[in-house]
Amino acid sequence: MNKLKKLGLGIIISFFLVLSANAGSIKIGTEGAYPPWNSKDAAGNLNGFEVDLANALCEIMKHNCTIVEQDWDGMIPALTSKKFDAIMAGMSITSERLKTINFSQGYADEVASLAVMKGSSIENINTPEGINLNIGGSDVDKALKTLTSSLSGKTVCTQIGTIHQNFLESGDVGNINLKTYKTQDEVNLDLTNGRCDVALAAAVAFTDYAEKSGKAVVLTGPTFSGGAFGNGVGVGIRKGDSKLLNDFNAAIDKARDEGIISKLAIKWFGFDASM
Amino acid sequence: MELLSFGDTGWGDELFFATLMTIAVSITAMAIGFLFALIFTPLKLSKIKTLNIIGNCYTTIIRGVPELLIIYLLFFGGTGAAMYVASIFGYDGYIELNAFITGALAIGIISGAYSTEVFRGAILSIDKGQFEASKVLGIKKSIQFYKIILPQMLRLSIPNLSNVWQITLKDTSLISVTGLVEIMRQSYIAAGSTRDPLFFYSIAAVLYLILTYLSMNLINKLEIKYSKGY
Amino acid sequence: MISIFPSLLSGAVITLQLLASSMFFGLIIGLIFAILRINKNPIINKFAYAYSYFFRGTPLLVQLYLIYYGLANIEFLRNSFFWVIIKEPYWCAIIAFSLNTGAYTSEILRSAFQTIKKGYIEAAQSLGVTKKITFYRIQLPIAIKQSLPAYGNEIILMLKGTSLASVITIMDLMGEARKVNVLTFKPFEAFITAGIIYLFITFIIHNIIKFLEKKYGFQT
């Protein structure tokens, strides 16, 4: 019985084991499943554009940083419940998210795109190269109309809780069969095996996947920006954490001026996505 | 097989440590479940109505809603709840319930509901005469519990507890959704990274089969050992 | 709280559909494998044992992923007519759930068959009743009656199991709850409301089984 008592006591104590963060040390949450923004290698280490950028920003801020892995669907709750202090996970600044958390200025911007398998009936959609939903106008309206007829009845796949889901649900592209996934990995798998007719995500997420997997995934239709797609990707920070917000804004300014962001963007995306 | 090599290029070492994590989290959850069962079994058997209701609510609710739901609730809401409780006691800093504790706690609560039912069944099957006999002999209630009921209850529970252990072990696969790197999560990461889900989920299935096989053998041995003399 | 209710209810309908189809196919599979298990041919009963061992010894989540993502990775399956079925997440879920509950059902029925008193069968045989009729008229009905309580538990376990369908894009009750959580960042509202609906369904199933036990089951 004594042993049982000790075990019980041990468990109770471990419940109350609290770890309080040291001053000057911050935790940054990332998904680790959205290459090339953030991902994980076979050794289990996080890498990607945002992992490099986070380390660079922390060096500028002279903060001691730890990067924490967090599934996308729990990213914002994890921030608000203080599991970590900042989000750098390819998270676009949107008005919907701003209701719950704050964002630093954007550090990178990169367009979204549809993708299909080579040989698909909608491999060629007759639209302008890119549309900006903020600008609108007859070109955009015409492009959305073309998209609506091309996508009608198609199974369109995207990651849950993303700007891409918001756009597909906004009604701009009419009646589609929308399927949402927990990770982009799963979207890619179902796109290549044919469960999805077409998928929507950051354009680089598809080009990166096509390159690494050798699968015939190709972009189609226009690239998207503005509107539901938000205003660039920023660092998500808890409301009321204004000191940290200012630190990040200053650090992003400095990193941009020194060309660090551009350099990292070219390294990971192949082009300058800094903003 | 190259995929399973140890080192930086293969997934062998990762899967090995993930298996250890599954074992560790299962054992911790089972122990937490025992603790819950030791608290709730007396409540379920209590003659005081309020206590009885509390005991029944625990087992009914936990066994009536999906495990995944309990995990999500604890995972998304657990830290917030813990900080709220701490703030009542005047502590306003960060509290981190790590993925291991949260996961083991969630599975432990579930496992505890099943263990409670097992313990309750075992106690009810103890011959009533023994209670009366110890009363006649003037044995104190606490001694009666520790020396007479508890040992018999544990012995009678072993066969059914082995079922609870199986359930607990398999339930740990659900913690993968919260990011704890156990067998399922590691297979998921490997499947995504190598784009070979068939291979890695088959490996996961084999690892679980090995764990259930080994643990069942161990429990059978225990059962034979402790049923000696009966 | 009220506004999320309709979408959760539409999810609950999918949950019930998944449960009903899986229990239907699972019962057929379970019955076939229970009969194979009590077959005297060692190869046949070993095969049936291996099936139930695999599906009871591995987590349902693994089985679901294996069928949904694993099978889809096999080239020739994708080119065969099976793809029509495997392509749909809904069917993948039903296949996984049916095979899983089939394994447990086969064990429940097997133990029920084995506890039938030899006397019943011997009596039937001495009266000249054929083996086939003995099986359908005596063994099977008794086994089903005896299995009712355990089978009731299995239905509730499967109801909870259907919540995993949400990980393969199906918008069942759990899927809708997760969506609400992701979109509103309010985990408690979404998951507690869903939990209450699950409890309600459990409660109803529990009472139906109790009623059936009273009406048809053995009094113990």
Distance, in angstroms, between C205 CA and closest chain B CA? 11
| Residue recorded with tokens 């994980």 | A40
Q: What is the pLDDT of residue B1?
A: 60
Runs of H (alpha helix) within chain A: 2-15, 49-61, 75-80, 95-98, 138-151, 163-169, 184-192, 203-213, 242-257, 260-269
Q: What is the structure's pLDDT at B75?
A: 83
Q: Taking 90 as the threshold, does the pLDDT of residue B204 lie above it? A: yes
> Which parts of chain A register pLDDT below 50?
1, 13-23
Contact assignment for C185 to A77 by CB distance below 8 Å: yes
> Distance between CA atoms of A49 and C35, rounded to whole angstroms?
59
Contacts with A73 from chain C: Cβ below 8 Å: 178, 181-182
The CA distance from C188 to C195, in Å, is 10
Sequence-distant (6+) residues with CB within 8 A of A38 are A30, A31, A32, A46, A47, A48, A49, A50, A51, A88, A89, A90
Q: Which of residues B85 and C51 earns the better pLDDT score?
A: C51
Cis before A36? omega within 30: yes
Rounded distance, CA A39 to CA A60, Å? 23
CA distance C2 to chain B (A): 19
How many domains does chain B fold into? 1
Q: Contact at 8 Å (CB) between C8 and C180? A: yes
- Please tell me the predicted confidence (pLDDT) of residue B230: 60
Q: Do C181 and A193 touch (CB under 8 A)?
A: no
Helix (H) or strand (E) holding A68: strand A64-69
- A144 φψ region: left (φ > 0), alpha (ψ -120 to 50), beta (else): alpha
What average pLDDT score do residues B33-45 get?
94
What pairing do the DSSP bridges indicate for beta strands A64-69 and A130-132? Answer: unpaired
Give the CATH number for residue B71. Answer: 1.10.3720.10
Is A11 an interface residue toward B (CB < 8 Å)? yes
Strand A155-159 with A177-181, pairing: parallel
Contact yes or no for B192 and A69 at CB 8 A: no
How far apart (Å, rounded) are the C-alpha atoms in residues A236 and A99? 12
Q: Which residues of B touch C (CB under 8 A)?
A: 60-61, 63-69, 72-73, 76-77, 166, 170-171, 173-174, 176-177, 184, 187-188, 191, 196-198, 201-202, 204-205, 208-209, 212-213
Q: For residue C74, what are the contacts with CB-CB under 8 A and spacing of at least 6?
A: B198
The verdict on C50 touching B (C-beta cutoff 8 Å) is no
In chain C, how long is the greatest CA-to-CA distance? 70
- Cβ–Cβ of C57/B202 closer than 8 Å? no
Is residue A274 within 8 A of residue A261, CB to CB? The reply is: yes
B127-143 pLDDT, tens per residue? 878 878 888 888 887 88
Instruction: State the chains in contact with A (3 or more Cβ–Cβ pairs under 8 Å).
Output: B, C
pTM here is: 0.89
Chain B interface residues (partner A, CB cutoff 8 A): 8-11, 14, 28, 31-32, 35, 38, 75-76, 79-80, 83, 86, 91, 93-96, 98, 101, 105, 146, 150, 177-179, 181, 189-190, 192-193, 195, 197
Q: In this complex, which of B38, B189, B197 lies closest to A189 when CB atoms are compared?
A: B197
Domains belonging to chain C, first-starting first, are: 5-216 (1.10.3720.10)
pLDDT at residue B112, as a whole number: 97
To the nearest 10°, report the CA torsion of C72, C76, C79, C85: -40
CA angle C136, C141, C144 (to 5 degrees): 125
pLDDT tens digits for range B13-24:
889 999 999 999
Of A76, A181, A195, Cβ closest to residue C72:
A195
For residue C118, give both structure tokens.
Answer: 């030899």
pLDDT for A75-117, tens place per residue?
Answer: 998 898 888 999 999 999 999 899 999 999 999 998 999 999 9
Residue B55 distance to chain A (closest CA, Å):
20
pLDDT (0 to 100) of residue A22: 43
Q: pLDDT at position B223, please?
A: 82
Specify which residues A86 forms β-bridges with.
A28, A237
> Facing residues of A237 across strands?
A86, A102
- What are the residues facing A47 on neighbouring strands? A39
Q: Kindly provide the ipTM of the predicted complex, given to two decimals.
A: 0.90
**Residue B192 backbone class (left: φ over 0; alpha: ψ -120 to 50; beta: rest):** alpha
* CB contact C78 to A (< 8 Å): yes
A253 and chain B in contact, CB less than 8 A: no
Predicted confidence (pLDDT) per residue in C113-137, tens digit: 888 888 888 888 888 888 888 888 8
* C69, C83, C169 member nearest A180 (Cβ): C169
As a whole number of angstroms, the longest Cα–Cα distance in chain A is 79
- Can you give the length of chain A in residues? 275
Residue B125 structural domain: 2-226
* Nearest-CB residue to B79 (from A11, A17, A82): A82
Higher pLDDT, B76 or B36: B36
Residues of chain C where predicted confidence (pLDDT) is lower than 70: 1-2, 217-220
User: What pLDDT score was predicted for residue C34?
Assistant: 94
Residues forming beta bridges with residue A64, ordered by sequence position: A25
- Got the DSSP string for A41-63? -TTS-EESHHHHHHHHHHHHHT-
Q: Per-residue b/e over B184-215, b at no fewer than 16 CB within 10 Å? A: bbbbbbbbbbebbbbbbbebbbebbeebbeeb
One-letter identity of residue B224: I
Residue A133 has what pLDDT? 92
Give the model's pLDDT for residue A21. Answer: 40
- Beta strand A217-225 pairing with A130-132: parallel
